Homo-oligomer: A and B are copies of this chain.
């Protein structure tokens, strides 16, 4: 069996979670998120963001979180602004449009939005009522390209959006990785202060399933549970989500797992950099995009699985490597060894 660097959801879950599922298995609990584990996990998250007034809801996955949040916020004629690399634009089978809302994509090399990117979109959508109304800015952190927002960048976006009557929604499928990157000073507490809604991704950070949606803006909190139920996302055994987030939030396991994933990716990145390898984007999270010769890619493919991301020219391509909460040292070292031998 080849070791896979294809994604961060190819293994099961952190052992603490399985242990907790076992421990609590026989307890009878109310359904639909009213179980005591969910209640406690929500409290823990409120504590971590230092805001008891934020509402927390657990759902199964990222596309589900995105479509529920966006369709609950927007009026029929309002639309989303997103970087063109945004997961909602190209990787969710039109899930947002299926709820009736257009997404306006902005081309960005690094997958990150700034106020300057958004201004022309607002300017070109003023022909009332013949055009959709931009209303929600969708950010991913870390982004689909592995890049991250800094505190300053998010503060500027937040100020801009408030001035322009726009909401900020941060897709945090890889929030753990985004906030533990060595190059960012952004914290979870600040994310909660500077966004209207965000979510903490579990699936890509050691859970079996689960994303924790956090609604900070009070006006968006009302009746939110109806939306979860209507979209088929309210699990009868909500305990499955509660137990997992309880374990992930305990003793900061969530951030520890993300930090581990980032660290393993950085080991490979640094080894490649030492050999002069170029990268598609300069990332400090668990995704790296080195540009390698096709012969080296073939060599690596004998032992490892990964995606060939982009053809650069006839001889070189960028590959994508993703490490996870569970990536051990051995495959990382073996990968580096081949690099060192071949380059």
Contacts and interface: CB of A to CB of B under 8 A. Distances in A.
Interface of A: 1, 3-4, 6-7, 9-13, 15, 18, 21-22, 24-32, 60-68, 71-72, 75-77, 79, 90-95, 97-102, 127-133, 203-204, 208-209, 223, 225-237, 239-240, 326
A227 B28 CA distance: 34
B204 A131 contact: no
A9, A61, A236: residue with the most chain B Cβ atoms closer than 10 Å: A236
Contacts of A24: 12
Nearest to A228: B129
B18 A235 contact: no
Given A15-B25, A223-B129, A237-B208, A97 B102 contact: yes
Given A209-B235, A235-B60, A95 B26 contact: no
Contacts of A128: 225-226
Contacts of A60: 60, 209, 232-233, 235
A301 B130 CA distance: 24
A231 B95 contact: yes
Contacts of A3: 28
A93 B15 contact: no
Contacts of A227: 76-77
Contact of A232 (B11, B26, B61): B61
B15 A31 contact: no
Contact of A230 (B21, B62, B77, B204): B77
Contacts of A231: 67, 95, 98, 231-232
Contact of A130 (B7, B61, B92, B204): B92
9 contacts: A7-B236, A12-B26, A72-B75, A93-B229, A94-B230, A98-B231, A129-B223, A209-B235, A232-B233
Contacts of A10: 28-31
Nearest to A90: B131
B91 A130 contact: yes
A22 B12 CA distance: 8
